[in-house]
C-alpha cells in the first residue's frame, strides 16, 4: 500500500489512541450493532480484549504495508482464531466491525476527514480480505 495512505492512518491512530474512550466506544458501537455480536462477547474480559485489539490494529497496518510478505506473516493467528473452526465469524460480521470502527474514528479523531476514513478503510480491508479468505 502507498506510504501516504499508511501515514494518514498512522497519524489518525495516534490521535484516536490519545482519547481514553477510543476502544470502549468501539466495543459499545460494535456490540450494539447486532445481538449475535453481543452474544459472542458475553464472557469476554474487555481489559484483555482492548489490549489485544490495540495490537491487532498495528498488525493490520503491517499487513497493509508489507504486501510483498503477504498478510499471513502478521495475521495468521487471527485468521485461525476467527475462522470456521474457531470463533466462526462470517463475512456479514466484518461489515459490522468495519462500520463500527469507522463510526468510532469519526467520533474520536478530532482531525477526522473523508481522507482519514478512506485510509482506515483501505488499511483494514487488506486484513479483512485475508481473514475472510481463510474463513
Ligand atoms: C479484522 C477484524 C478483527 C480484528 C482485527 C479482530 C481482533 C481480535 C483480537 C485481537 C482478539 C483477541 C485475541 C486474543 O485474545 O489475544 C479477538 C477476539 C475475538 N473476536 Fe475479533 N477481530 C476482528 C473481527 C471480529 C468480528 C467481525 C467478530 C464478530 C463478532 C469478532 C469476534 C471476536 C470474539 C468473539 C473474540 C473472542 C473474545 C473472547 O475471548 O471472549 N472479531 N479479535
CATH code of 35's domain: 1.10.490.10
Q: How many angstroms separate the CA atoms of 126 and 133, rounded?
A: 11
Q: Render pLDDT for 45-74 as a digit per residue (tens, 0 to 9).
A: 999 999 999 999 999 999 999 988 899 999
Domains in the chain: how many in total? Answer: 1
pTM exceeds 0.85, yes or no: yes
- Decide: 130 in ligand 1 pocket, CB within 6 A: no
- Decide: 56 in ligand 1 pocket, CB within 6 A: yes
Q: How far is residue 80 CA from its own chain's centroid?
A: 16
Rounded to 10 degrees, the C-alpha dihedral 54/59/65/67 comes to -150
Residue nearest to atom 35 of ligand 1 (CA): 40
Q: Which domain holds residue 74?
A: 3-133
- Nearest Cα to Cα of residue 98 among 78, 130, 76, 120: 120
Amino acid at each position: 500500500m502507498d506510504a501516504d495512505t499508511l501515514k494518514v492512518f498512522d497519524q489518525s491512530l495516534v490521535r484516536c489512541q490519545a482519547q481514553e474512550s477510543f476502544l470502549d466506544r468501539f466495543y459499545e458501537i460494535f456490540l450494539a450493532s447486532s445481538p449475535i455480536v453481543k452474544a459472542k462477547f458475553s464472557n469476554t474480559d474487555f481489559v484483555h480484549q482492548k489490549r489485544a485489539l490495540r495490537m491487532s490494529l498495528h498488525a493490520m497496518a503491517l499487513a497493509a504495508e508489507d504486501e510483498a510478505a503477504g498478510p499471513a506473516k502478521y495475521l495468521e493467528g487471527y485468521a485461525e482464531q476467527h475462522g470456521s473452526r474457531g470463533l466462526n465469524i462470517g463475512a456479514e460480521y466484518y461489515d459490522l466491525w468495519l462500520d463500527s470502527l469507522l463510526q468510532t474514528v469519526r467520533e474520536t479523531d478530532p482531525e477526522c476527514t473523508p481522507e482519514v476514513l478512506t485510509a482506515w478503510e483501505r488499511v483494514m480491508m487488506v486484513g479483512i480480505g485475508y481473514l475472510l479468505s481463510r474463513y
